[in-house]
A and B are shown apart, each in its own frame.
Chain A
Amino acid sequence: MRFSDQFEKRFAEMLTHYPTKRSVLVPTLLYAQDEAGFLSDEVIAEIAQRLELTELDVNNVISYYSMLTTKPRGKYNVQVCTNIACMLRGGEELLEQCKDRLGIGHKGTTSDGLFSLEEVECIGACSWAPAIQVNYDFHENLDERKMDAVLDSYRKKAI
């Protein structure tokens, strides 16, 4: 299993921040997932070994955190917030629109592997609702037209 130099640099530095190795686990899993796409058995084994944990320990932690996944996802993970502030301003309609345009449901992935879709809880954009995140990028104050434009921009980016 090979990670980028940046990953290795950050990992080595993080280990110096805490009195226990295990403390780096949660952010490390997320950075590893960003590089590998998902937390495969191989990635889990590698991280467990580096931190002197069992794979079971690592899996237990993974299952707790909603952003961590052991299954492959699309290149762009579209996360639509339907919590209260977004719901009031059309978040549910945006989710329907995404399902329709992408032809997939909650936690589905398009057959070309480009998009995944997820209904998520509040992402901290309530005053700019309705809002979504595509991977880590926020898109806010959306409506039907802007939502289509966002999806298009990622389609173009992929080419």
Chain B
Amino acid sequence: MADLVSHPDEVRVVSKRFGKGATNIDRYIELDGYKAVRKALTMEPDAIINEVKNSGLRGRGGAGFSTGLKWSFVPKQASKPKYILCNGDESEPGTCKDRLIFEHDPHAVIEGVMIAALAVGATKGYIYIRGEYRYLSEIMQKAIADVYAKGFAGKNIFGSGKDLDIYWHGGAGAYEVGEESALMESLEGKRGIPRIRPPFPAVVGLWGGPTVINNAETLASVPHILLGGAEWYANLGPPKNGGTRLFCLAGDLEKPGVYELPMGYNLKKMIYEVGGGIPNGRKLKAVVPGGSSTPILLPEEIDVAMDFDSVAKTGSMLGSGGVVVLDDTVCMVKFALRTIKFYQHESCGWCIPCREGTDWLKKTLIRFHNGAGLKKDIDNMYYLSENMLGRTFCPLGDAAAMPMMAFVKKFRKEFEDHLDGKPCPYEKASEEINRELAVL
């Protein structure tokens, strides 16, 4: 479905089988598939966890937590069944990579779930796929059926004496459900309202049992680590940031697309060489480095290695891999409005700072973009966001507050240029669209 791209700087690990017919289980096996799980079956659980820890693999869902460490938090003995839950809700604006994995290499996700299950002693794994990705849910259902038919799942997998069930699950449209505890609520058939932590899912998760929740790309990376070795994987990236990452290049670029690059690849090079630079002779205005919740970077800030720690030093985040590039025709007030409108729409409404804060920001930005903003609104938007930070029940509140603070801090002048009823001086969109935005 979605077009594939390539660039000589790519290091293909997770995307190794893209475009190679690996949705077919026999083809997947031909391409080294299900070798890693066979290897895992001969290893002690702790040895699997250590291998993943040493590989430097960090969560590809956004937060970048060490995957091996997360697995080690699951208690060895538990009175309730343990579960693996693969997060395929992929909804952070700018992010479109898990989709390619499900489309081209669904068995890699299944194999990753299997290895995680062996490592923590789980006997059931669920693969949650967002409702909009119906065709991927169908691909996954077929892949799972094929796995059962081969005797790789169910009772006595690979003749090992161990039992392991793999299931798919579908969502029905909700960004918030990608948050790990809301994801569990959704899987249990409820509204996606987050759970209070502690207890953490590793101890009390699905139906009260210990649960490991990992992003689809994280899990699809695991078989490669077991086969290639922790050292090989760790050395693909800088220290503590092992491996590669699927970067979704989007926005004002000559060659947008999903490229697999080593962790720590330079952002400037990513934009100008891999992505082909800015089209139509325009200039770069700003970059969102890792999905719409990550604070925006100015052109002078993009000479940065794209790994978790280096991007954090700029005050932003590596996030979910969605790199959105803006040229100099974009109005930042409008861009801020689109960003905030999303979080306002997706807020589950459970806690006041997020529910009221995002709504207030949206209304202020609409007024602002229409030329009815007040000078004090600028500071108020910053102050309000600052006060949302860390005061919400789940990180969605932060996801709205963080980029908002960066918009105001880095583009204050553009906000000021909208004052005194002046028409938006940056806008390339038609008047009609602006009228529509005004009534959102």
**Which residues from chain A sit less than 8 Å from chain B, CB to CB?**
17-20, 22-27, 29-30, 51, 60-61, 64-68, 82-85, 87-89, 92-93, 95-96, 121-129, 133, 136-138, 140-141
What 10 pairs across the A-B complex have the smallest Cβ distances?
A: A67-B173, A25-B189, A66-B173, A22-B189, A65-B172, A27-B170, A136-B134, A85-B250, A122-B93, A64-B191
CB within 8 Å for A138 and B1 given contacts A66-B173, A67-B132, A84-B94: yes
Mind listing 23 A-B residue pairs with CB under 8 Å?
A: A20-B207, A22-B188, A26-B169, A26-B189, A27-B171, A27-B172, A29-B172, A30-B131, A61-B189, A64-B191, A66-B174, A84-B338, A85-B250, A88-B324, A93-B430, A93-B433, A96-B433, A121-B345, A126-B95, A128-B96, A129-B250, A129-B256, A136-B132
Whether B175 and A85, one on each chain, are in contact in the complex, defined by CB atoms closer than 8 angstroms, is no
Among candidates B170, B248, B432, residue contacting A26 with C-beta atoms closer than 8 Å: B170
Q: Does B360 contact A (CB under 8 A)?
A: no
Question: What 0/1 pattern do residues 111 to 149 of B give for CB contact below 8 A with A?
Answer: 000000000000000100011111100000000000000
When chains A and B are docked, how far (Å) is the Cα of A158 from the Cα of B119?
51
Whether A126 and B132, one on each chain, are in contact in the complex, defined by CB atoms closer than 8 angstroms, is no
Whether B207 and A124, one on each chain, are in contact in the complex, defined by CB atoms closer than 8 angstroms, is no
A64 cross-chain contacts in B, Cβ below 8 A? 174, 191-192, 348
When chains A and B are docked, how far (Å) is the Cα of A121 from the Cα of B170?
18
- Minimal Cβ-Cβ distance residue in B for A34: B134
Q: Does B15 contact A (CB under 8 A)?
A: no
Residue among B132, B134, B292 with the most chain A CB within 10 A? B132
Whether A23 and B187, one on each chain, are in contact in the complex, defined by CB atoms closer than 8 angstroms, is yes
When chains A and B are docked, how far (Å) is the Cα of A138 from the Cα of B257?
16
Among candidates B170, B190, B249, B433, residue contacting A92 with C-beta atoms closer than 8 Å: B433
Whether A85 and B189, one on each chain, are in contact in the complex, defined by CB atoms closer than 8 angstroms, is no
A126 cross-chain contacts in B, Cβ below 8 A? 93-96, 248, 250, 322, 324
Q: How far is the CB of B152 from chain A (nearest CB, A)?
A: 17
CB within 8 Å for A127 and B248 given contacts A23-B188, A138-B1: yes
Whether A30 and B172, one on each chain, are in contact in the complex, defined by CB atoms closer than 8 angstroms, is yes
Residues facing A in B292-320 (CB within 8 A) are 292
Q: How far is the CB of A157 from chain B (nearest CB, A)?
A: 17
- Minimal Cβ-Cβ distance residue in B for A136: B134
Q: Does B92 contact A (CB under 8 A)?
A: yes
Q: How far is the CB of A125 from chain B (nearest CB, A)?
A: 6
Q: How far is the CB of B134 from chain A (nearest CB, A)?
A: 4
Residues facing A in B318-372 (CB within 8 A) are 322, 324-327, 330, 335, 338-339, 342, 345-346, 348
A123 cross-chain contacts in B, Cβ below 8 A? 132
Among candidates A23, A68, A87, A127, residue contacting B189 with C-beta atoms closer than 8 Å: A23
Whether A65 and B173, one on each chain, are in contact in the complex, defined by CB atoms closer than 8 angstroms, is yes
A-B contacts, CB under 8 A, total: 160
B174 cross-chain contacts in A, Cβ below 8 A? 64-66
Whether B92 and A122, one on each chain, are in contact in the complex, defined by CB atoms closer than 8 angstroms, is yes
B251 cross-chain contacts in A, Cβ below 8 A? 84-85, 88-89, 129
- Minimal Cβ-Cβ distance residue in B for A21: B189
B250 cross-chain contacts in A, Cβ below 8 A? 85, 88, 126-127, 129
B170 cross-chain contacts in A, Cβ below 8 A? 26-27, 30
Among candidates B91, B188, B339, residue contacting A20 with C-beta atoms closer than 8 Å: B188
Whether A122 and B91, one on each chain, are in contact in the complex, defined by CB atoms closer than 8 angstroms, is yes
- Minimal Cβ-Cβ distance residue in B for A33: B172
B2 cross-chain contacts in A, Cβ below 8 A? 125, 127-128, 138, 140
Residues facing A in B165-194 (CB within 8 A) are 165, 167, 169-175, 186-192
B324 cross-chain contacts in A, Cβ below 8 A? 84-85, 88, 126
Seed contacts A27-B169, A64-B192, A121-B342; 5 additional CB < 8 Å A-B pairs: A26-B131, A65-B171, A66-B172, A96-B430, A122-B94
When chains A and B are docked, how far (Å) is the Cα of A25 from the Cα of B190?
8
Among candidates B172, B256, B288, B346, residue contacting A128 with C-beta atoms closer than 8 Å: B256
A141 cross-chain contacts in B, Cβ below 8 A? 3
Whether A96 and B432, one on each chain, are in contact in the complex, defined by CB atoms closer than 8 angstroms, is yes
When chains A and B are docked, how far (Å) is the Cα of A19 from the Cα of B173?
24
Whether B135 and A136, one on each chain, are in contact in the complex, defined by CB atoms closer than 8 angstroms, is yes
Q: Does B258 contact A (CB under 8 A)?
A: yes
Q: How far is the CB of A18 from chain B (nearest CB, A)?
A: 8
When chains A and B are docked, how far (Å) is the Cα of A54 from the Cα of B248?
43
Q: How far is the CB of A89 from chain B (nearest CB, A)?
A: 7
B436 cross-chain contacts in A, Cβ below 8 A? 92, 95-96
Q: Does B252 contact A (CB under 8 A)?
A: yes
Question: What 0/1 pattern do residues 375 to 396 of B give for CB contact below 8 A with A?
Answer: 0000000000000000000000
Q: How far is the CB of B123 from chain A (nearest CB, A)?
A: 12
Whether B132 and A26, one on each chain, are in contact in the complex, defined by CB atoms closer than 8 angstroms, is no
Q: Does B418 contact A (CB under 8 A)?
A: no
When chains A and B are docked, how far (Å) is the Cα of A17 from the Cα of B166?
9
Q: Does B429 contact A (CB under 8 A)?
A: yes
When chains A and B are docked, how far (Å) is the Cα of A51 from the Cα of B2?
37
Among candidates A67, A84, A89, A92, residue contacting B288 with C-beta atoms closer than 8 Å: A84
A66 cross-chain contacts in B, Cβ below 8 A? 172-174
